[in-house]
Amino acid sequence: MRVIQFREALREAMNEEMRRDKDIFLMGEEVAEYNGAYKVSQGMLEEFGEKRIIDTPIAELGFAGIAVGAAMNGLRPIVEFMTFNFSLVAIDQVINSAAKMYQMSGGQFNMPMVFRGPTASAGQLGAQHSQAFENWYANCPGLKVVVPSNPYDAKGLLKTAIRDNDPVIFMESEQMYGDKGEVPEEEYLIPIGKAVTKREGTDVTIVSFGKIIKLAYVAAEELAKDGISVEIIDLRTVRPIDYEAIVESVKKTNRLIILEEAWPLANISTEITYMVQKRAFDYLDAPIRRINTADAPLGYAPTFVEAFLPSVKQIIDTVKEVLYR
């Protein structure tokens, strides 16, 4: 199977869907003439023209509102935020218009639109450009929230998101755009709300999503050298969450760790902890543990970045703690 980059997988998904449906268009800062801030939309202006690949001013609230109006009138916009940190400027349109329009209109208006772009940390970018917003948007009814971790999932999930009649928050990472992975040339779709077991194991379950899950793979390999078998579940979607996949894994391993790049309070890890204790408490042989970022804004210095983010060592130590203590 061919190997392509994460950014190429996203581009292919948009290209294929735009060729299939003339009502789909892409808008955002630098998506056209500059080929995208991260070159995700490279070549799309040449193929689809300026009416479907639209450069916007630095005005997220404005172009998010335009996209909401377009979706209400039967078009299917893809809105690219250069980073989801900038989506805070547009959050009124996302939360109070896109997410609520179907319900408030009594079902008269579907909202077939995708808001996509990078989330969370990406190195030394400072506190205002290093925040994870997955749990923020997942908290809002009316939105679906997708966070792929590899090129294969990125393409299949984005195609599904574009075809969905509800607004989808599609969250990526600047540090993943160059990641490579196997992606088939033939068309495929991945359902929203379906997790996948990326590694089978018997001793402990690690649940994660997005780029931070890569640390779990490294830790699992190291732990295997000590005879510890780790099962890894990639959520892929954090609204809806595939609770069944998590519960079934816990019934097998009897231990659960959630790895998430987010501040500790009121995050996806907290929600999963509650639901597993509610539905599978009797199967747990140890307290559920979660591994999050430090409860502070992320500083610029590389030492701050290292101290802020979860580490492979932290994962290994936590696994051994739930196994042996």
Domain boundaries defined on the chain: 3-182, 196-324
pTM (two decimals) = 0.96
Give residue 77's region: left, alpha or beta (phi > 0; psi -120 to 50): beta
What is the CATH number that goes with domain 3-182? 3.40.50.970
As annotated, the active-site residues are: 60, 129
- Euclidean distance between CA atoms 17 and 3, whole angstroms: 21
CATH architecture assignment, domain 196-324: 3-Layer(aba) Sandwich (3.40)
pLDDT in tens, the chain (325 residues): 899 999 999 999 999 999 999 999 999 999 999 999 999 999 999 999 999 999 999 999 999 999 999 999 999 999 999 999 999 999 999 999 999 999 999 999 999 999 999 999 999 999 999 999 999 999 999 999 999 999 999 999 999 999 999 999 999 999 999 999 999 999 999 999 999 999 999 999 999 999 999 999 999 999 999 999 999 999 999 999 999 999 999 999 999 999 999 999 999 999 999 999 999 999 999 999 999 999 999 999 999 999 999 999 999 999 999 999 7
Give the pLDDT confidence score for residue 325 in this predicted structure. 77
Give the helix ranges, DSSP H, for 131-242.
134-138, 151-163, 213-224
Rounded Cα distance, 299 and 276, in Å: 34
Hey, do 3-182 and 196-324 end up sharing a CATH topology, with the first three levels equal?
yes
Q: Where are the beta strands (DSSP E) in the chain?
A: 3-5, 24-28, 53-55, 76-80, 114-118, 144-146, 168-172, 180-182, 196-199, 204-208, 230-234, 237-239, 256-259, 289-291
